[in-house]
Structure 1
Amino acid sequence: MVSDLNSVPDRKTSWLRPPVTVNAYYSPTRNDVIFPIAMFHLPFYIPDGPSAVNFGAMGSIIGHEITHAFDLQGRQYDGQGKLSDWWNEQTVQNFLLTTTCMKDQYSNIKIRGVKIDGNFTLDENIADNSGLRAAMYAYQMWIEEFGEELQLPGVNMSMYQVFYTSFAQMYCSKWTDYGLFYHLLTDPHSPGSARVNGALSNSQTFSWTFQCPLDSKMNPRVKCEVW
């Protein structure tokens, strides 16, 4: 509003982006997560739609943003948004070990002959993987409370398969060579196909759901897990 132009901004309660923004985010200095209302529609959410669809998409996004509080950057801030080394030594050592696994995993992914920078994209990769895992746990808890969902008519998939398909379709994308290379150089998010395949290949539940053979591309023997 015009009346707000000359006032001191309220940095603790004001939104960093307008509600029409289709992008959730986490702020370490404010220790808050924001999910603009514009996100609550396809392909992220269906009001009164199948829970498998909503947990797989919006649920994983919620888990993704919360995980940012515990990635390389977020973990440096405490509950008040202040820089603080609040982890114990054992937690730090475990974190360094598991994040090394994930960094090496994504560094070996090639798209059009170019490798992803696993170090540059590490925070987002941690959030993708942990957000997906948290969403599946939440969906399983929902099933325990409300029971199994009926299979969708005309869709030859189990509801667990629908869950993972809903997660994957959020990152459908198409790139020109220039656009892809620019993205790899400037964006901390891995390209869509790598975000999907990286996180799914680390999910034991995904491998079971789609019956992926052990040591196949989508069911490697070594699976990286940070949170």
Structure 2
Amino acid sequence: MRAVCLLSGGMDSTTLAYVAKDMGYDIIALHFTYGQRTEAKERECARTIARMLDAAEFVEISLEHFKKIGASSLTDTSIPVEEYGGEEEGMPSTYVPFRNANLLAIATSLAEARRAEAIFIGVQTGDYPGYPDCRPEFIEAFQRVVDIGTAGDPRITLMTPFVRMSKVDIIRKGLELGVPYEHTWSCYQNNDLACGICSSCHYRREAFRELGLEDPIAYEE
């Protein structure tokens, strides 16, 4: 069995790739660069994880159009990355417009070309207000697009087991599988020391704290 695993280098996608491997899939690691602030660190982590998973292939694709489209603090440095401040209201500045549809479309092309049976994507909405393209309804709708728009031999299934899980649940699962979290990156801002104050850093650190563990990566604050 083969699976395309969207591997950003982050905590969720890395854990999910380990889940796919544990399920018996041969991993085709798919990594995207799109001008995000932490592009260099994410690439480094994704390559390391793919190597540790003995991935059959590491495919890196550049999506420069997101930089041109803008409207996200991940790709436009003139827009500040928000610090975590409790319950967030409205759409976070880090939302990249319709990103997951773009990523899944390319993942589907790759899966069809490699005759993979599954695509694993680590969308997760448990700890914070989800981006619209992380909702279960979006994944269900995109599955219909895949079913209609591909040859169907083999059928490609979108695998999103984390969509309703919390960060704590995800880390707990990863620890069972021996995920090397020291080689993952979640910070939205920095490539060297994690900022510790963006929402992604916050939710990651809080999940480790809730489990009584120390996050193995280094932080500024």
TM-score after normalising by structure 2: 0.32
Greater strand fraction, Structure 1 or Structure 2 = 2
Q: State TM-score, norm by structure 1.
A: 0.31
